[in-house]
């Protein structure tokens, strides 16, 4: 597993069971999002494309080389040391990455988080999620939308299975969610706060969205407290915390 940072979609086939077990796989060093505040504008653009490529196209080793070399700016020798390989192997992997991305049209079709169309899609997704309105969420999804939830190895492909799983989530957690918009990996992201019985909300997940052609094509959902802390997110909040942040 050394050097690997997978997502669930890289480890097995999608599920079609909305009631499947949500047991986490804690022995896997899952791919995690980066707070955009750590990077300048140019680096965020590179990071956005690297993330999209990582979750959709590249094997684990090539994904690691792409992020370390092209986004974080490590030398080939430094990357080789971190991954336990050779400089020649790192350079070869980077060449394969560039060849793969040259034909990956969807990666370059992903628009910026502040693109007006993306902002509208994200706003509509937020409102639908807050209302626990599954049909409205499904209307915003691409037909082959992917939902994955590290450290849970379970994942879904297709708007139908996505919607059925969301029915399970809202059935368990209820309505009246609160959402906060932010960015991660140069992409739109949402902090989702679940309602608490005594009032207010508790942080439930950080969701990183990939929006292509006006639809949500992928949602990578993180529930690891370490991810929350990396983004400086409050774990609990009053009910009206995010009013006015739209």
Q: Which two tokens stand for residue 152?
A: 């849970």
**Which of the four pLDDT bands, split at 50, 70 and 90, describes residue 51?**
low
Residue range(s) occupied by CATH 1.10.10.10 in the chain: 34-108
What is the reported pTM? 0.71
**Which of the four pLDDT bands, split at 50, 70 and 90, describes residue 120?**
very high
Question: Does 3.10.450.50 match the CATH number of domain 116-237?
Answer: yes
The pLDDT of residue 28: 75
How far, in Å, CA of 117 to CA of 95, rounded? 33
Q: Name the nearest CA neighbour of 55 among 129, 165, 149.
A: 149
Where b means 16+ CB within 10 Å and e means fewer, 60-81 reads: bbbbbbbbbbbbbebebeebbe
Contact 203, 233 (CB under 8 A): yes
The pLDDT of residue 86: 93
Contact 47, 194 (CB under 8 A): no
**Which of the four pLDDT bands, split at 50, 70 and 90, describes residue 2?**
very low
For range 54-72, the mean pLDDT? 70
Question: Tokens 């050779």, residue?
Answer: 86
Measured in degrees and rounded to the nearest 5, phi and psi for residue 54 equal -60, -45
Question: Tokens 């207010």, residue?
Answer: 200
The pLDDT of residue 50: 58
**Upper half-sphere CA count for residue 68 (Cβ side, 13 Å):** 24
Q: How would CATH label the architecture of 34-108?
A: Orthogonal Bundle (1.10)
Contact 50, 66 (CB under 8 A): yes
């Amino acid at each position: 597993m050394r050097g690997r940072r997978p997502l669930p979609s890289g480890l097995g086939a999608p599920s079609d069971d909305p009631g499947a077990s949500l047991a986490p796989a804690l022995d896997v060093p899952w791919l995690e999002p980066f707070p955009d505040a750590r990077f300048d504008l140019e680096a965020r653009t590179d990071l956005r494309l690297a993330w999209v490529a990582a979750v959709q196209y590249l094997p684990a080793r090539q994904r690691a080389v792409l992020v370390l070399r092209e986004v974080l700016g490590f030398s080939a020798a430094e990357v080789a040391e971190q991954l336990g390989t050779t400089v020649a192997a790192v350079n070869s992997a980077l060449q394969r990455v560039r060849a793969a991305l040259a034909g990956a049209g969807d990666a370059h079709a992903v628009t910026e988080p502040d693109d007006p169309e993306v902002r509208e899609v994200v706003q509509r997704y937020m409102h639908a999620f807050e209302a626990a309105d599954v049909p409205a969420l499904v209307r915003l999804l691409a037909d082959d939308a992917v939902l994955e939830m590290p450290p849970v190895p379970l994942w879904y492909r297709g708007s139908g299975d996505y919607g059925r799983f969301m029915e399970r989530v809202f059935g368990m957690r209820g309505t009246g969610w609160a959402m906060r918009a932010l960015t991660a990996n140069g992409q739109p992201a949402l902090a989702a706060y679940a309602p608490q019985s005594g009032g207010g909300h508790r942080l439930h997940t950080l969701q990183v969205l990939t929006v292509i052609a006006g639809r949500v094509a992928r949602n990578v959902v993180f529930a690891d407290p370490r991810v929350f802390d990396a983004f400086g997110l409050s774990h609990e909040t009053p009910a009206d915390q995010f009013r006015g942040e739209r």
